[in-house]
Structure 1
Amino acid sequence: MTTKEFVKNFYQEKQNILSSSFDTQSESRTLVSTKIEELKLNDIENEKLKKIISYLLDDTFYTILLGLDGSASIGASQETFKIYDEEDKLISESGDLEGYAYEYFHESKLETENSKCDFIAQIHLKKENEGGRKNYVKSDYRCQLVFNFDDYQTSARQIYIGTDYAFPGDIMNAEIDILSQEYFHGKLKSGMGFKLYENSQLIGSGKIIKLVNKKLNKT
């Protein structure tokens, strides 16, 4: 097993736990799913709870991996470990896990490895009391996008990763397709910021995590 496969397995286990926690149909359903069903939440409330649990699992698994990597504490102890597979092959030693852990738990690597979008971005929607939207939006939502280096406005289609809804105040990753691709050829790079508008209303902001459309890459 490689270091990457080791981290990927942790991420897939996180996804399995999240899925089983909201599975109400399986004969071997979990106690967590039973307790969640007893809350009698509507679809929107259920989605909000699912996102909270997903954030918690991300933080938990990421912290464990960094603890095994020696870059975070486990309990009150911070140590370095060497991890071997059953064939006594070294999987990781100090410093090997952190990069892959960040890619899977913060950059949605598994969900976007085969993406055909223009870029992957982290998006922050403003709360209503900050001037943002009053209501949630569904995945495949379109609004106007303006990069911080330019005043040019383009339409942006957003496919949210790991959820079908985005609520005011949320921070989530999304696959982004922009309308005016040719205008931005050779102008974009990872880490670049942008703002999101509905007409003249500023509803959120974001930054590019990963460029997928190589024509947009700033050289």
Structure 2
Amino acid sequence: MTALLEVIAFHENDARRAAEGGADRVELLGSLDDGGMSPEPGLVAKVRTSLDHDGIDIDLRPMVRLREGFGTDGAEATRLRGLIASYLDAGANGVVLGFLNGLGEVDAEVVTALVADGDFPWTFHRALDHALDARRAWQVLLGLPRLDQVLTAGSARDVEHGLDDLLTVAREVPGAADLIMAGGGLQPEHVPWLARAGVRAFHIGARARPLGSYKAWVDAGLVASWRHLVDAEISHRVG
């Protein structure tokens, strides 16, 4: 069993450097506002074309989110479905999305409608960390179609504050460890604990950039150091 490493990207240069460092996937954002907003479909096409031109094969998943918060409505949902279709046409392998209803629960109706057309895989993002009842949210997530990753810090703040809850969920909720992609302030020292609990997917943003600054491009060397770390930990646990 191998580890999965995802890196936040804002353009083709980020994506290329992430791939050069050994990342398996990039989460493409239009901006980092409120934790991440959707890119334009044209940017997705530009990134895919650039990567294909260089012979780089890496999973590309853009964020599907147009406004702050984690709620949506029928009118926006229609627009989001069109956006997803545009992303897939532009070369995305899947998407990243996640919505809660007015009760702070996973909005299974909206999410299911958004992913109903097609057979693409998708990630439920950190909306989970803002749900009122995380255990109940997990039970809903486990029943959603084609969901293959849940990006979570275990806390609305970061992994440092949510690590204990992440470890508990990974160990006690059947199927959760296979879906958890730990991210949101992930630190190298968190990886061994998560690997020991069965987590195999990891997500980094600022940690893939010099001085942890989003003003800098992704650095292939930093990504490579994370690639080595997660592979070593997963190999050790499996061994």
TM-score normalised per structure 2: 0.24
- Which structure ranks higher in relative contact order (CA pairs < 8 Å, sequence separation ≥ 6)? 2
Q: Greater CA radius of gyration, 1 or 2?
A: 1
Greater helix percent: which structure? Answer: 2
TM-score normalised per structure 1: 0.25
